[in-house]
Amino acid sequence: MPQQSLREVKHEITISAPAADVYRLIAEVENWPRVFPPTIHVDHVERDGNEERIRIWATANETAKNWTSRRILDPEAMSITFRQEVPAPPVAAMGGTWIIEPLSEAEARVHLLHDYRAIDDDADSLAWIDEAVDRNSRTELAALKTNVETARATEKVTFSFEDTVQINGSAKDVYDFINEADLWGKRLPHVATVRLEELSPGLQILEMDTRAKDGSTHTTKSCRVCLPTHKIAYKQVTLPALMTLHTGYWTFVENGDGVAASSQHTVVLNTDNIASVLGEDATVEDARDYVRTALSTNSRATLGHAKEYAEGNR
């Protein structure tokens, strides 16, 4: 069998921020879903000093993939090398390096290097990978620049919150209720219609029309990562007008009284749309309250029905 050809590409961007700040944001993978648009969820599998294994779920060319990567972090050199352990087809091998180059005390150059091969050197597959790597690299670097440079400015419009309901039932039953979103149209009064696609076990695309209190409906689309039976993480890819970002997760923690079921949300407000949605006099605080109330109301309603379901199965 002939040796597969290796493709090597490089993307760069200059960021108006100290190199150490940029490095830190890349190193802390738990923040990736809100920093990098393609990333849905990241989990640590192993950690040993500056070496780690992480699981990544991300979108690529309008679909979603997941893989496990090994990373070696070098804080002194401000570089991070990565290598996918079992790449998702059509990728045969994928790896690369982040290099953060200080240009001054307040500016850094980010170099993102990739090397990859396609399965059987297939030309169509290689073209697909070329497009995915180029699109995701440009998107990630642009998002990294935006997030680092506007971190202080967006503090006021970024917020997180969590709702928890104690359920006298099993974590599996509560997890099943949230996981089986294709049944939400029948189970949840605030859900009008649901379209659920499972790309692979535990990786879902969920699109649904949700009813508001005034009777109107709005459509949202999310990518979901389901980790039986303790967590379901998601990222909205079609957003309501008042949000530029919405990520979250459902968690199910067993305790002496059954299971504590929680719904967590992280939101970045779209300040450009506050006036058109809430009126000319509306403030950022008004938008925060409006979004939090809407999300919390739906989450608590869903958890309430999950509670009825799980306690009814005892």
Per-residue three-class SS string for 106-141: CEEEEEEEEEEEEHHHCHHHHHHHHHHHHHHHHHHH
Predicted structure pTM score: 0.86
Mean pLDDT of the chain: 93
Q: What is the DSSP letter of 3?
A: P
Cβ(211)–Cβ(191) under 8 Å? yes
In degrees rounded to 5, what are phi and psi of residue 77? -85, -10
Q: Is the peptide bond before 240 cis (omega within 30 degrees of 0)?
A: no
Q: For 73-84, what is the mean pLDDT?
A: 97
Q: Around Cβ 206, how many Cβ atoms within 10 Å?
A: 19
Cβ(30)–Cβ(42) under 8 Å? yes
Q: For 62-68, what is the mean pLDDT?
A: 84
Helix, coil or strand: residue 39:
strand
Look at residue 152 in the predicted model and tell me its pLDDT: 65
Strand 231-238 and strand 63-74: the pairing is: unpaired
Q: Which structure tokens are listed for 48?
A: 């040993």
Look at residue 4 in the predicted model and tell me its pLDDT: 59
Helix, coil or strand: residue 313:
coil
Q: For 4-18, what is the mean pLDDT?
A: 93
pLDDT at 71 over 80: yes
Low-confidence winner among 22-26, 64-68, 174-178 (lowest mean pLDDT) = 64-68
Look at residue 127 in the predicted model and tell me its pLDDT: 94
pLDDT at 151 over 80: no
pLDDT at 213 over 80: no
Q: Which of 219, 34, 225, 290 is nearest to 144 (CA)?
A: 34
E strands, 28-157, are: 39-48, 51-60, 63-74, 79-84, 91-104, 107-118
Give dist(CA 248, CA 264) in Å, integer: 5
Q: Which residue's structure tokens are 């219609």?
A: 193
| Cα 310 to chain centroid, rounded | 28
